């Protein structure tokens, strides 16, 4: 039986680059791969899966919270790859799990674990509950050389915990941070605001 995989990391950990490399490997072997992503992620263009390193390809399927996947469309597929999986609904994650079981196709999801408040995204939570294999894609903290654990949000260049949980952005808005730097940078902002 095929597996459901969740490969997670902070912002800037090359998750999408990893996904695109896997898609390329399958294509080089003349195997069919389907790349999916949430429709709401239009940072690099509608339907575009793009890494910060510049590599890109079009998504084959754009996912909405209420998307119903037709399993018949996946029968001749060697692998399913999902970018920005943290934005998926529980319903869609459940269907991805069913693809791995019913169609016997590996499903590899890439995404963030938590938002800038350190709270699990809905899709990430469900993947932690259902995935057969969970792997952290590691990167270092923007401010030091320790392992990044959290996504630090910037508002006008200052660390913040304000705003909606889902707010699209890249390096101009989010930085990878270790626990110590995440806490100290937010505290610095609080102290400056108190003055």
Where in the sequence numbering do the catalytic residues fall? 84
Residues 6+ apart with CB under 8 A from 21: none
The residue to which tokens 């110590």 are assigned:
180
Of 39, 34, 49, give the one whose Cα is nearest residue 96: 34
**Rounded to an integer, what distance in angstroms lies between the CA atom of residue 53 and that of residue 59?**
17
Query: Could you tell me if 143 and 185 are in contact, meaning their C-beta atoms sit under 8 angstroms apart?
Result: yes
What residue spans of 114-194 are helical by DSSP H? Answer: 122-130, 179-194
| Six-digit token string for 67 | 């998307």
Helices 90-98 and 122-130: angle between axes, nearest 10 degrees? 30
């Amino acid at each position: 039986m095929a597996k459901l995989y969740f490969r997670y990391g902070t912002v800037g950990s090359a998750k999408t680059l990893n996904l695109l490399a896997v898609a390329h490997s399958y294509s080089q072997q003349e195997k069919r791969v389907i790349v999916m992503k949430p429709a709401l992620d239009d940072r690099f263009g509608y339907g575009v899966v793009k890494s910060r390193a510049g590599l890109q390809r079009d998504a084959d399927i754009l996912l909405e919270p209420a998307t119903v996947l037709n399993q018949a469309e996946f029968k001749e597929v060697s692998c399913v790859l999902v970018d920005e999986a943290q934005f998926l609904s529980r319903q869609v994650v459940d269907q991805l799990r069913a693809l791995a079981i019913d169609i016997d196709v590996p499903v590899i999801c890439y995404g963030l674990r938590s938002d800038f408040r350190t709270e699990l995204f809905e899709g990430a939570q469900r993947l932690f509950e259902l995935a057969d294999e969970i792997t952290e894609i590691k990167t270092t903290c923007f401010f030091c050389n320790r392992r990044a654990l959290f996504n630090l949000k910037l508002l006008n260049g200052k660390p913040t915990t304000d705003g909606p949980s889902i707010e699209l952005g890249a390096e101009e808005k989010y930085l990878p941070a270790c626990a110590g730097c995440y806490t100290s940078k937010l505290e610095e902002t609080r102290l400056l605001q108190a003055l």
